[in-house]
Copies of this chain bind each other. A is one copy, B any other.
Amino acid sequence: MVEGVEGKRVRIKAKGRIFEGIAMPSSTGSFVLKLDNGYNLGFSEYELIEVIEEGRPKEEIAELAKKEELPNVKIISTGGTIASKVDYRTGAVTSQFSAEEIVSDVPEIAEICNVDAMLLYNILSENMKAKHWIELAREVYKAIKDGYEGVIITHGTDTMAYTASALAFMLSTPSPVVFVGAQRSSDRPSSDAAMNLVCAAKTAISDLGEVVVVMHASTSDDFCHIHRGVKVRKCHTSRRDAFRSINNPPLGVVSYPSGDIRWLSSRIRRGERELRLKDRLEEKVVLVKFFPGLKPDVLDYYYDKGYRGFVLEGTGLGHVSTDWVDTISRIAEDSVVVMTSQCLWGRVCDRVYDTGRYLLQAGVIEGEDMLPEVALIKLMWLLGNYDVEEAKRLVKVNLVGEINPTTRYWDEEVEK
């Protein structure tokens, strides 16, 4: 791309013809020209003939790109790699892009929807806390109430699944709420930011009424998966296809670059649920991963600090050492103790072995096929909004797709 023409009206020669339009920002390496009829054209080879008009401010270009017939989507930026670039002084990646810059960086989005962008946070996702989740849920609620067709949240991948779960419980939505991120910062050649954003935009205007995560699904740039927010986790530290649906097939596949969506499993459709917000979260809930030899005193430690929600990440079908039974029995009197499995895949069942049955007698509640992380967020939400007895009842009830009546083995199906 010829330097310095971005945002200017130019005349170019390419493919043996003359084109006139505004030079758009592009991250793909090709030169993108917005014609007066509104269409974007991309060229890998071209010759600049002349600059007809000097540049316009970025905001004006974004406004120019809007089309009346397209649906309106709100993008809320919270930080993370998708909003990052490499700091060439230190070699490290830091969050520093605004939402507006992300959009101007991926002009294909302007063909899908009109975008209003908002920078809510600019933090790395490991620093997210319950207060951020609550504030975010309120912003999404507002956007849907304002009539946006869908909401996209750009988010760091580290804790994206936690935030998606939090919103799934706090917010009943008639429209798509789409989390998207990137594993490689957008100024790297291998970045997945552009593809993920385009697929997220397609999902945001689709016939969907739930909180989802849209991320790269293969090692090539060919499709994204739409994951149910309460059934997904990050399963690789660095790969672009790091996100996996667990104990549930992905809801759908978005082809790239066509943007066609193929639905893979039953979903909540657009308009099926009413817009509601129940945004309290109890922060005194803890997840404890069991390992052989770990003593149960850590439960007392949290109990004595006023914690009344405990998610245990046990072994196998949902076990901890038998010498935990007394402690659990004591705290379960006025706390909710939920058992999940560090296997991650499969369903907890404490009726098979002696240990499990002792745990049930002690008051442990089986977390069914919920991920430990999802059970944690659910319990934070339940104890924020209900008393302990009601939380004990509801933690086993499927509320937003976090529990399947019977576990389906996605990997079993695709491996064959």
Contacts and interface: CB of A to CB of B under 8 A. Distances in A.
Contacts of A234: 315-316, 342-343
Contact of A162 (B291, B319, B343): B291
A283 B293 contact: yes
A387 B261 CA distance: 57
11 contacts: A92-B352, A126-B314, A129-B293, A130-B293, A236-B345, A237-B317, A238-B347, A239-B345, A239-B409, A242-B343, A283-B293
Q: Which 7 A-B pairs have the closest CB atoms?
A: A237-B346, A158-B316, A158-B315, A126-B319, A289-B289, A236-B345, A236-B346
B235 A354 contact: no
Most buried by B among A130, A293, A322, A373: A293
A212 interface: no
B291 A287 contact: yes
Dominant SS at the A interface? Answer: loop
B292 A289 contact: no
Contacts of A373: 291
A119 B63 CA distance: 76
Nearest to A128: B292
A66 interface: no
A364 interface: no
A116 to B, nearest CB: 27
Contacts of A385: none
A412 B240 CA distance: 12
Nearest to A313: B289
Contacts of A317: 158, 237-238
Interface residues on A, range: 35 or more
Interface string A180-214: 00000000000000000000000000000000000
A102 to B, nearest CB: 18
Contact of A235 (B94, B129, B343, B412): B343
Q: Which of A283, A289, A373 has the most CB of B within 10 A?
A: A289
A167 to B, nearest CB: 13
A298 to B, nearest CB: 7
B294 A286 contact: yes
A314 to B, nearest CB: 7
B93 A157 contact: no
A342 B246 CA distance: 14
A292 B126 contact: yes
A343 B236 contact: yes
B238 A349 contact: yes
Contact of A352 (B93, B352, B355): B93
A130 B343 CA distance: 21
Contact of A347 (B125, B237, B376): B237
A353 interface: yes
Interface in A251-295: 283, 286-294
Contact of A315 (B126, B314, B349, B353): B126
A121 B129 CA distance: 45
A315 to B, nearest CB: 4
B376 A291 contact: yes
A127 interface: yes
Which among A219, A353, A412 has the greatest number of chain B C-beta atoms within 10 A? A353
Contacts of A313: 289
A165 to B, nearest CB: 10
Interface string A303-336: 0000000000111111111110000000000000
Contacts of A92: 351-354, 357
A159 interface: yes
Interface string A160-186: 001100000000000000000000000
Contacts of A157: 316
Nearest to A317: B237
A325 to B, nearest CB: 11
A364 B342 CA distance: 24
Interface string A364-391: 0000000001001000000000000000
